[in-house]
Amino acid sequence: MAGATITIGGTVIAPGERRGLSLPVGMLHTHVPVDMPVWVINGRRPGPRLFISAAIHGDELNGIEIIRRIRARPLAGLRGTLLLVPVVNVFGLLHHARYLPDRRDLNRSFPGSERGSLAARLAHQFMTEIVARCTHGIDLHTGAIHRSNLPQVRAQLDDPETRRLALAFGAPVVLDSRLRDGSLREAAAERGIPTLIYEAGEALRFDEMSIRIGVAGIIEVMRKLEMLRAKRKPTRPVKPVVADSSYWVRAPEGGILRTTVRLGQRVSAGETLGQVSDPFGAHDIPVSAVHAGIVIGCNSLPLVNEGDALIHVARMERPGEAYATVEAISEPFRDPPANGGVITS
């Protein structure tokens, strides 16, 4: 059975065709048009339609590189359709900024509206032209500026299909995450489209391990969806650590932060994770874990204000076992690829 044509922004992509196109999203002050880049790979045979998006926050760059590497792969025998959108928030990317020019967070503006704010219009365009045409989605993110995230998948795990794909992705940690009002994931879920969030690395930086885990995870999800052939000799992968909740350890007062933990490290309840002190170190206040778990996010800026988020911990009863799992999953991705990651497995 032959695949179906798909139409994006008025452009028809036939089965077996790869096509790059641009969706108009607005105009700069200089009357220069701004377009959202889209690459469509339409398989010769029918199957799921998967969107992969990045840079909904304009300073989150790892996803752009992940999508570049996915596009560079031959994807032989693809079933269904792959829609790649490396930069959703083009305005934010131009200014190296998380938000849009009107200071709105695009990922709190879905599903948007045709006649609303710039954020609402951009969200509406993305929902109408991309998400509404798909059966599944993966949205790529990083931590914010001066915050780095351990590679992790966030998903609504009480949905069986979402859980199946979250575990297939194979990131070190899978976090059961509630839907946030106005988020792309919530808007997609309301349309019955299971969507994963991949969080890894830090804003405005490339992180090679995070990128490689992301590429491998997307390929595994496509295999699970039967968009790609399964491996002839499947390995027995280590199952990701699943956490049903997490918490932030916050600064008890302003000062200079010195952390003593790193991403992926196991921590015990009450364990000291660092100190906040004055410039001379004469007044130290310890920062401690509330519950046992694994560190999945860290603030890398030593200068902190009272209440700042410092350490993000995924709660779990047996952090020692979880630490071993995180290390086992991460280790194969730590060495840089020989060819720059263009078509790595």
**CATH code (residue 14):** 3.40.630.10
Q: Is residue 231 part of a domain?
A: no
Q: CA 56, CA 93: separation in Å to the nearest integer?
A: 9
- Average pLDDT value for the chain: 94
Q: Is residue 345 part of a domain?
A: no
Say whether both 164 and 213 belong to one domain.
yes
Residue 304 lies in domain: 245-332
Q: Is residue 128 part of a domain?
A: yes
Say whether both 162 and 303 belong to one domain.
no
Say whether both 252 and 215 belong to one domain.
no
pLDDT the model gives residue 236 = 56
Say whether both 213 and 274 belong to one domain.
no
Residue 257 CB partners (closer than 8 Å, separation 6+):
251, 274, 275, 276, 287, 299, 301, 302, 303, 304, 310
Say whether both 188 and 275 belong to one domain.
no
What is the pTM for the complete model shown? 0.95
pLDDT the model gives residue 334 = 86
Q: CA 243, CA 224: separation in Å to the nearest integer?
A: 22
Nearest to 111 by CA among 163, 164, 187: 187
pLDDT the model gives residue 340 = 53
pLDDT the model gives residue 173 = 97
229, amino acid identity: R
Say whether both 297 and 192 belong to one domain.
no
- The total of structural domains in the chain comes to 2
> pLDDT digit string (tens) for 300-324?
999 999 999 999 999 998 888 989 9
Q: Is residue 130 part of a domain?
A: yes
233, amino acid identity: K
pLDDT the model gives residue 345 = 37
pLDDT the model gives residue 237 = 66
List, run by run, the mean pLDDT of 10-residue segments along the chain (345 residues).
90 96 92 96 97 98 98 95 98 96 96 96 97 98 97 97 97 96 98 98 97 97 96 74 96 96 96 95 93 96 97 93 92 72 44
Say whether both 325 and 207 belong to one domain.
no
Q: Is residue 125 part of a domain?
A: yes
> pLDDT digit string (tens) for 214-273?
999 999 999 999 999 988 776 656 889 999 999 999 999 999 999 999 999 999 999 999
Exposed, middle or buried, 345 (CB in 10 Å: 0-12/13-18/19+)? exposed
Strands 272-277 and 309-315: unpaired
Q: Tell me the three state secondary structure of residue 20.
A: strand
Q: Is residue 111 part of a domain?
A: yes
Residue at which a domain ends, from 167, 190, 224: 224
Q: Is residue 238 part of a domain?
A: no
pLDDT the model gives residue 202 = 97
32, amino acid identity: V
Any idea what the CATH number is for the domain that residue 298 is in? 2.40.50.100
Say whether both 166 and 135 belong to one domain.
yes
Q: Tell me the three state secondary structure of residue 329.
A: helix
